[in-house]
Amino acid sequence: MAAYIAGDKAAFRELFQRYTPLLQRAMARDLRSTEEANDLVQQTFLHLHRSRLDFEPGRKLKPWVFTIALNLKREFFRRSKRRHETSLEDDRIAEPFEGPRGQERSDAARETARALSQLPAEHREVIELHWFAGLSFPEVAEAVGSTVAAVKVRAHRGYVALRARLGAEVPDPEDLRDGKPSAERSQ
């Protein structure tokens, strides 16, 4: 980030490469279409560019980027007057798994995605930031403007609810341990 602030254009590309997959995943889980998710990712980078001089050296960049992204996502939902949806992620999980019992594995993964989407937004948000965006709990706390203790409690409540929802159709751990959609693995 320091290099980017100093005017190094290659540094912006590096930031893009590092954060785009995380941001796209964070956006895509809630939005109807890839276009909407990509639009919000673009807005995030534009805001990052406009806010670059606010960045304090020594501060962690990832929570700051996610603070911008989450603000944009909240505003998107307010403007479009709708709550989060998870159809995009459901579609992605619906990609077939390869190998034996591939259909069962796809079903199990879909169940997990569906159970996640049914969690209260405040619980789901911290779980997704921690697990899918790779933020530590202190970073999650910074990104959502809360305390570490509070986000840990929210995550824990989310885990409990998630297990309760998965209880009826618990995915076989062996099915999910290293499973990835076949399209991704073939890349």
Partner 1 sequence: MDCAQIRDAFVQGVVLPNEAVQAHLALCPHCHELFEHDAELGRALAAQATAGAAFPEDIFEHIAAGVARETGPRAWLRSRPTGLRFQLLVLAVILLVVAGGLLRHRPDLAEYPLARQVLLLGGYFVLLLLTTRKELAVSARRDDHVSWFLAALALPVLAAFVPATEASRHLGPGGALNCFVYGGLFTVPLAALFWAVDRDDRPTLRSVCLSAAALGLAANLVLELHCPNGNLLHLLLGHASIGAAWLVAWAFTRRGARPSY
Binding residue (CB under 8 A) for partner 1 from 18, 74, 82, 84: 74
Contact between 64 and 55 (Cβ < 8 Å): yes
Scan for tokens 């789901």, then name that residue: 124
Q: How far is the CB of 12 from partner 1 (least distance, A)?
A: 7
| Number of shown-chain residues binding partner 1 (CB under 8 A) | 73
Binding residue (CB under 8 A) for partner 1 from 49, 59, 82, 84: 49
Scan for tokens 């190998």, then name that residue: 99
Other CB atoms within a 10 A radius of the CB of residue 16 amount to 13
Q: Please tell me the distance from the alpha carbon of residue 105 to that of residue 1, in angstroms, as a whole number.
A: 40
What residues numbered 120-179 form the site for partner 1, per CB under 8 A? Answer: 127, 130-132, 134-137, 142-146, 152-153, 155-156, 159-160, 162-163, 166, 170-171, 173, 176-179
Q: How far is the CB of 38 from partner 1 (least distance, A)?
A: 6
Contact between 51 and 43 (Cβ < 8 Å): no
| 36 binds partner 1 per the rule CB under 8 A | no
